[in-house]
Amino acid sequence: SQKIEQNSEALNIQEGKTATLTCNYTNYSPAYLQWYRQDPGRGPVFLLLIRENEKEKRKERLKVTFDTTLKQSLFHITASQPADSATYLCALERSNDYKLSFGAGTTVTVRA
């Protein structure tokens, strides 16, 4: 069956450092992989989308990589700030589908 796994442990880092989150999947062939941010008591907010034929995507301090051979995406937050503290979700989507399949998320805490 399909499985999407994100860092099982919460991530605690010092302000200014880079946070690296992983998203691994099995039995899935996504055309798109998306990353969302979710704050407590709120719905997820879309951050970045990367396509299966793209290796890397950047947006401001965020960087996403996508390796379809390893079946893995890495999500980097560079020069992290306390305001980056949140839960980050990865979501996969097939090309002939519109339903997103989500991982359980990784909670990031950035210490000042």
Partner 1 sequence: GAGVSQSPSNKVTEKGKDVELRCDPISGHTALYWYRQRLGQGLEFLIYFQGNSAPDKSGLPSDRFSAERTGESVSTLTIQRTQQEDSAVYLCASSLGRGETQYFGPGTRLLVL
Q: Which is nearer to partner 1, 42 or 55 (CB)?
A: 42
40 binds partner 1 (CB under 8 A): no
Q: How far is CA 73 from CA 63, 87, 91, in A?
A: 10, 16, 10
Site for partner 1 in 70-99 (CB under 8 A): 89, 91, 93, 98-99
Out of 73, 86, 105, 106, point to the residue binding partner 1 (CB under 8 A): 105
28 binds partner 1 (CB under 8 A): no
CA distance 33 to 51: 6
Q: Which is nearer to partner 1, 50 or 80 (CB)?
A: 50
30 binds partner 1 (CB under 8 A): no
48 binds partner 1 (CB under 8 A): no
DSSP tally for the chain: helices H, then strands E:
0, 11
CA distance 36 to 43: 10
CA distance 30 to 38: 22
Q: Which is nearer to partner 1, 5 or 20 (CB)?
A: 5
Q: Which is nearer to partner 1, 32 or 78 (CB)?
A: 32
Q: State the pairing for strand pair 72-77/62-67.
A: antiparallel
Q: Which two tokens stand for residue 18?
A: 């880079």
Which residues contribute to the site for partner 1 (CB under 8 A)? Answer: 4, 41-46, 49, 89, 91, 93, 98-105
